[in-house]
């Protein structure tokens, strides 16, 4: 059965890193909406031109644009085996749209993992985080972290334009206001899980794998019972 995972959590929780690792290990498609937008900004596409000022200010790009991007990607054949979503949904409207897309795909339940990290730790992490200047890939802590060259394209690591302190605080505020309500939206589902993210990346990986695997087993039982 398809493994469909949403990695939720505030900026700096490590969800991008874990989403990348999990998708790679399980052979799933990873969709990072932040990465898609950064690539669009770099290649000056119409979406990139529209999104640049919004992303740089730490605000959210409009729901219709984001839902359009994700919908198109999730309905392609290579997404049918399952996916890991990083950075989407970020609003209740996006979560409702995702439920509608899932109904269209008809391919297994959504597993939602919230990665929880105290705010002081998030601010510290974001001020030292680095991404590749050429392709936007996050410096990978499983691979020695920042300071090395990008393993995807060999580019240099730099600070993200939206990782400076003022924008970080703004993004954390927007997370609390617009995205945290999603926990209420999802938490009554049997496939909702919480993982503590202020641990080593290896320990978070272990906890996450266990959380996702137990949720997936539940989802399979539920599907069998309806057959
Ligand atoms: P991220 O890499 O997930 O931290 O995303 C970087 C920025 O891209 C965010 O601060 C937003 O400006 C924008 N963004 C990414 N995903 C979304 C989304 N699902 N909805 C609205 N804006 C988004």
For the segment 111-130, what is each residue's pLDDT rounded down to a tens digit? 999 999 999 999 988 888 88
- What pLDDT does residue 179 have? 96
pTM here is 0.89
* Share above pLDDT 90 across residues of the chain, in percent, rounded to a whole number: 71
Q: Which of 32, 48, 61, 122 to mutate to test the pocket of ligand 1 (most atoms within 8 A of CB)?
A: 61
Task: Kindly tell me if the per-residue pLDDT of 147 is higher than 70.
Answer: no
Quick one: tokens of 18?
């874990």
pLDDT of residue 52: 96
- From the list 21, 73, 125, 129, the catalytic residue is 129
Q: Is pLDDT of 69 > 60?
A: yes
Domain limits, the chain: 3-118+179-226
Superfamily for the 3-118+179-226 domain = P-loop containing nucleotide triphosphate hydrolases (3.40.50.300)
Residue 139: per-residue pLDDT:
74
| Residues 158-174 pLDDT 10s | 888 888 889 999 999 99
Confidence label for 218 from pLDDT (cuts 50, 70 and 90)? confident
Question: Other CB atoms closer than 10 Å to residue 103's CB: what's the count?
Answer: 8
Give me the residue label for tokens 């496939």: 191
Give the separation between CA 135 and CA 223, rounded to whole angstroms. Answer: 39
The answer to whether 160 is a known catalytic residue is yes
Per the prediction, the chain carries an average pLDDT of: 90
| CB 13 within 8 Å of CB 122 | yes
Tokens coding 121: 């730790």
Q: Are 154 and 132 in contact (CB under 8 A)?
A: no
Spatial separation of the C-alpha atoms in residues 126 and 44, rounded to whole Å: 26
- Identified catalytic residue from 21, 38, 125, 160: 160
Contact (CB, 8 A) for 30 and 152: no
Separation CA 9–CA 121 (nearest Å): 13
Strand 3-8, strand 192-196: pairing: unpaired
């Amino acid at each position: 059965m398809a493994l469909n995972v949403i990695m939720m959590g505030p900026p700096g929780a490590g969800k991008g890193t874990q989403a990348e690792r999990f998708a790679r290990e399980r052979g799933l498609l990873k969709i990072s909406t932040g990465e898609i937008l950064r690539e669009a900004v770099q290649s000056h596409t119409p979406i990139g031109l529209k999104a640049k000022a919004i992303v740089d200010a730490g605000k959210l790009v409009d729901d219709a644009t984001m839902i359009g991007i994700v919908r198109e990607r999730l309905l392609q054949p290579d997404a049918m085996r399952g996916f890991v979503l990083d950075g989407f949904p970020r609003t209740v409207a996006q979560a409702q749209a995702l439920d509608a897309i899932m109904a269209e795909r008809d391919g297994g339940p959504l597993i939602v993992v919230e990665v929880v990290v105290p705010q002081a730790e998030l601010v510290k992490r974001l001020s030292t985080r680095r991404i590749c200047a050429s392709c936007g890939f996050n410096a990978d802590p499983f691979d020695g972290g920042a300071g090395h060259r990008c393993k995807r394209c060999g580019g240099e690591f730099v600070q993200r334009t939206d990782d400076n302190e003022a924008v970080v605080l703004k993004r954390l505020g927007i997370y609390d206001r617009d995205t945290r309500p999603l926990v209420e939206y999802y938490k009554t589902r049997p496939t909702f899980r919480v993982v503590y993210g202020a641990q080593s990346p290896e320990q978070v990986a272990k906890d996450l794998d266990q959380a996702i695997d137990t949720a997936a087993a539940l989802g399979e039982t539920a599907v069998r019972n309806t057959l």
